């Protein structure tokens, strides 16, 4: 464990160390990419599928398709070095943007196809979109890891998350205004067209990110990849277990909290998207709460704290579903805010720890395994949760003063899975991590939000 004084000195050193030139383009790419993908991979697409009569299982497929197809990173990893980071990622991202233009046409086929046909057509285009993304994403983390020095990767990731969450917030507000209370097909078409245009703009900044030289030895290497040995590398193995558990616990939260608000709370589409946008303000607030201190604090204490709070978040949703708490607007907004904040903290901390854990030799393949393990479980989770929700159906039992229905059981099971994730996070290997006391001190005493704590009215 590191001391408080050491933590503060490391934070100061991190703040003084500058990011490489050209990284601004990575932030701008992340921002416009978020303006694009949040429409076709987020709640707007879930609402469109629900608009077409999709069941919970189909919604699970819609949400889970993107992470499931990341499995193609495994065969793609061997080609990244040969093609080059920039060329590999740019080609895949360009192809996926072209599929978004096709998505924009699907809602306009209403005069020719019924709802089932349009849903099937959208699933086919989503598959093609996510397949191209799954392959090309094999080059992203190795590329960024080779550009950003290890000592300030947390600093980079915090700023990247801030850019993504700010853009995602704007995208969801726009989507909420566009769809309104009872959206027609042409409104979804406009939204998907907007996503495609933002994707085209993101490609401009992607092309301006500096390329990294790859040695000829690495580029032409034909050595067989010892996949099993990579997986068994002890620090990486523990991280992979934690990421899998987190993905299973979190995998259905976004999609099924949306369907819960739509079907049980009877909230209109536009209002759901506006409420969902609050989660991105929560993610954006991670910039001020952790800021550039993530490198000094380490990932392990942040993950431990985040998973503990996630247990409370899941129990909060379960209490609403069980009719123990009223679905008041302020409570739902608070839960969305916390979901965004602590999902961002988990994402940043996991990625940073992966960058710190994997050795330079075999980096492409380590990152491919890391992405595939996390994303496979993240993709399977909503499908499995969807099957569970559909199997329970409209059954409801009153027991122990609570209503036990499909959503009570879903949110409660997610909370139980978060408990397992917390236990695994406590076993992570990170020698330079700060203590939990140091983390709480940074959050409660030394972060900008301490002003809010001091001016909050005393009861």
For the ranges 245-254, 400-409, 442-451, the lowest mean pLDDT is seen at: 442-451
What is residue 444's predicted lDDT score, i.e. its pLDDT?
A: 55
Maximum pairwise Cα distance, the chain: 68
Please say if the pLDDT value at position 197 is more than 50: yes
For the ranges 24-33, 102-111, 130-139, the lowest mean pLDDT is seen at: 130-139
Contacts of 104 (CB under 8 A, 6+ apart): 189, 190, 192, 193, 195, 196
**How deeply is 2 buried, as exposed, middle or buried, from its count of CB atoms within 10 A (0-12, 13-18, 19+)?**
middle
What is residue 440's predicted lDDT score, i.e. its pLDDT?
A: 57
SS3 content of the chain, % helix, strand, coil (to 5): 80, 0, 20
Residue 18 lies in a domain: no
Average pLDDT over residues 194-222: 78
Please say if the pLDDT value at position 245 is more than 90: yes
Phi and psi, residue 426, nearest 5°: -70, -15
Q: 451 falls in which pLDDT band (50, 70, 90)? A: very low
Contacts of 406 (CB under 8 A, 6+ apart): 388, 389, 392, 393, 394, 395
**Which is higher by pLDDT, 138 or 392?**
392
Alpha-carbon gap, residue 28 to 182, rounded angstroms: 33
What is residue 189's predicted lDDT score, i.e. its pLDDT?
A: 92
**Which is higher by pLDDT, 214 or 220?**
214
Q: What CATH number is attached to the domain comprising 368?
A: 1.20.1250.20
Q: How do residues 373-432 score in pLDDT, each as one tens digit? A: 888 888 888 888 888 888 888 888 888 788 899 899 999 999 999 999 999 998 887 766
Residue 221 lies in a domain: no
Residue 379 lies in a domain: yes
What is residue 324's predicted lDDT score, i.e. its pLDDT?
A: 92
CA 299, 4, 163, 153 torsion: positive or negative? negative
Residue 306 lies in a domain: yes
What contacts 24+ positions apart, CB below 8 Å, involve 437-446? 438/1, 438/2, 438/3, 438/4, 438/7, 438/297, 438/301, 439/297, 439/301, 439/302, 439/305, 440/305, 441/4, 442/7, 442/290, 442/293, 442/297, 443/289, 443/290, 443/305
| Percentage of the residues of the chain whose pLDDT score is greater than 90 | 24
**Which is higher by pLDDT, 56 or 2?**
56
Q: How do residues 259-304 score in pLDDT, each as one tens digit? A: 888 888 888 877 888 888 888 888 887 777 776 667 667 778 888 9
Residue 7 lies in a domain: no
Closest by CA position to 80, among listed 143, 125, 37, 10: 143
What is residue 180's predicted lDDT score, i.e. its pLDDT?
A: 77
What is residue 366's predicted lDDT score, i.e. its pLDDT?
A: 72
Residue 16 lies in a domain: no
Q: How do residues 331-348 score in pLDDT, each as one tens digit? A: 999 999 999 889 988 988
**Which is higher by pLDDT, 227 or 134?**
134
**Across the strands, what pairs with 404?**
397
pTM for this structure?
A: 0.71
Average pLDDT over residues 19-39: 86
Residue 233 lies in a domain: yes
Q: 434 falls in which pLDDT band (50, 70, 90)? A: low
DSSP 338-389: HHHHHHHHHHHHHHHHHHHHS-STTHHHHHHHHHHHHHHHHHHHHHHHHHHH
DSSP 218-258: HHT--PPP-HHHHHH-HHHHHHHHHHHHHHHHHTTHHHHHH
**Which is higher by pLDDT, 331 or 76?**
331
What is residue 13's predicted lDDT score, i.e. its pLDDT?
A: 47
Q: 446 falls in which pLDDT band (50, 70, 90)? A: low
What is residue 20's predicted lDDT score, i.e. its pLDDT?
A: 66
Phi and psi, residue 177, nearest 5°: -65, -40
DSSP 8-state assignment for residue 430: -
Average pLDDT over residues 4-8: 47
What's the structural domain count of the chain? Answer: 1
Considering the chain, what is the average pLDDT of its residues?
80
Please say if the pLDDT value at position 458 is more than 60: no
Average pLDDT over residues 89-98: 91
Query: Which residue range(s) make up the domain with 390?
Result: 24-213+226-455
Please say if the pLDDT value at position 317 is more than 70: yes
Residue 190 lies in a domain: yes
């Amino acid at each position: 464990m590191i001391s408080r004084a050491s933590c503060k000195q490391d934070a100061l050193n991190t703040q003084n160390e500058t990011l490489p030139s050209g990284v601004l383009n990575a932030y701008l790419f992340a921002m416009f990419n978020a303006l694009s993908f949040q429409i076709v991979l987020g709640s707007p697409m879930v609402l469109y599928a629900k608009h077409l009569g999709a069941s919970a299982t189909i919604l699970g497929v819609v949400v889970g398709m993107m992470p499931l197809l990341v499995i193609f990173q495994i065969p793609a990893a061997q080609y990244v070095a040969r093609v080059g980071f920039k060329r590999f990622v740019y080609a895949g991202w360009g192809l996926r943007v072209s599929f978004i233009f096709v998505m924009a046409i699907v809602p306009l086929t209403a005069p020719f196809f019924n709802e089932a046909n349009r849903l099937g057509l959208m699933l086919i285009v989503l598959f093609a979109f996510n397949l191209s993304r799954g392959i090309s994403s094999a080059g992203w983390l190795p590329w960024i890891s080779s550009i950003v020095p290890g000592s300030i990767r947390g600093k980079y990731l915090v700023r990247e998350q801030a850019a993504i969450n700010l853009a995602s917030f704007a995208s969801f507000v726009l989507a909420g205004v566009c769809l309104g209370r009872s959206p027609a097909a042409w409104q979804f078409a406009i939204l998907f067209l907007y996503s495609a245009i933002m994707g085209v703009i993101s490609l401009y900044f992607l092309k301006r990110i500096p390329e990294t030289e790859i040695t000829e030895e690495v580029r032409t290497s034909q050595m067989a990849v010892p996949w099993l040995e990579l997986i068994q590398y002890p620090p990486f193995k523990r991280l992979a277990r934690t990421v899998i558990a987190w993905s299973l616990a979190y995998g259905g939260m976004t999609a099924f909290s949306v369907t819960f608000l739509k079907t049980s709370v009877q909230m209109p589409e536009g209002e759901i998207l506006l409420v969902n946008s609050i989660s991105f303000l929560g993610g954006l607030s991670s910039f001020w709460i952790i800021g550039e201190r993530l490198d000094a604090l380490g990932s392990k204490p942040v993950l431990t704290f985040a998973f503990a709070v996630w247990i409370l978040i899941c129990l909060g949703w379960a209490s609403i579903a069980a009719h123990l708490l009223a679905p008041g607007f302020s409570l739902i907004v608070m839960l969305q805010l916390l979901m965004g904040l602590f999902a961002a903290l988990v994402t940043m901390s996991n990625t940073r720890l992966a960058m710190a854990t994997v050795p330079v030799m075999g980096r492409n393949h380590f990152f491919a395994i890391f992405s595939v393990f996390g994303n496979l479980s993240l993709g399977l989770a909503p499908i499995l949760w969807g099957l569970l929700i559909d199997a329970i159906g409209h059954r409801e039992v009153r027991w122990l003063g609570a209503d036990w229905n499909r959503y009570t059981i879903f949110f409660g099971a997610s909370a139980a899975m978060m408990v397992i994730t917390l236990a695994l996070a406590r076993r992570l290997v990170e020698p330079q991590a700060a203590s939990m006391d140091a983390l709480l001190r940074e959050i409660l005493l030394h972060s900008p939000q301490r002003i809010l704590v001091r001016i909050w009215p005393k009861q």
